[in-house]
Amino acid sequence: MQIAQLGRVDYAPTYAAMQAFTEQRDLEGQPPSEDQLWMCEHPPVYTQGLAGKPEHIFNPAHIPVVQTNRGGQVTYHGPGQVVGYPLLNLKRAGYFVKEYVYRLEEALIRTLLHFGVTGHRVAGAPGIYVRLDDPFGHTPLPNRPGKDAGGSRTMAPDFTGLGKIAALGIKVSRNCTYHGLALNVAMDLEPFARINPCGYAALQTVDLSTIGVAVGWQDAADILSHKLATYLAP
């Protein structure tokens, strides 16, 4: 996997470049293209996924809103957030979308662990979460979401006591991935208060800084890119 450090780049042209790369790669008669991982951060922007609903954005004010073709609902990108875009041929990698999502989350969990933070999955709500009262503790979460007394109905995700520290939103076209994931490092978190992050009302968003981890953007990007290259390998 070829890793490209893009620095701070505008969202819209980066999105367009991902689409163009994916549409043109591995066409019949062309040699196989190398998988890539783009690491960057964006100026302030809200992005809406295919399931996005306008009512989940309360007050964008001066922050632009970009409609995209990724999965999920609304999220915020801004300075101090590490964004990773894996451009991966899943057929060549040898695994399917569900495992791809699991591997993305595992790379995030291992990145957090490098900084002493315990990241958690919440079933039914892609992304990585931390305990607000003990982000460094290792106690696993109870089963979330649970089921009803009959054991047959899945309940809504339970975010009690949790803060979201990393988000996922992907697109797969012709077995090739784009869009990706975002890890909050040291951000102005106020813009998250103007939306329902990922469509969930009152979901608290945190970053490494607010839970007591002081790390520079580049250091976090280097660790995350290494973990992604490791856990996305065939």
Per-residue pLDDT of the chain (234 residues; tens, 9 = 90+): 999 999 999 999 999 999 999 999 877 667 788 999 999 999 999 999 998 888 999 999 999 999 999 998 899 999 999 999 999 999 999 999 999 999 999 999 999 999 999 999 998 899 999 999 999 999 888 865 555 556 554 667 889 899 999 999 999 999 999 999 999 999 999 999 999 988 888 889 999 999 999 999 999 999 999 999 999 999
Q: Is the bond leading into 13 cis (omega within 30 degrees of zero)? A: no
- Whether 198 is a known active-site residue: answer yes
Closest CA to 96 of 175, 1, 33: 175
CATH number of 2-231: 3.30.930.10
| Tokens matching residue 46 | 């809200």
| Tokens matching residue 230 | 């490791």
List, for residues 97-130, the tens digit of each pLDDT value: 999 999 999 999 999 999 999 999 998 899 999 9
Q: How far apart are CA 19 and CA 14, in angstroms?
A: 9
**pLDDT of amino acid 102:** 97
**pLDDT of amino acid 101:** 97
For the chain, which residues make up each domain, given as ranges? 2-231
CA end-to-end span of the chain? 10
Closest CA to 183 of 205, 198, 199, 162: 205
Annotated catalytic residue, options 128, 198, 211, 221 = 198
Is residue 208 within 8 Å of 165, Cβ to Cβ?
A: yes
**pLDDT of amino acid 35:** 96
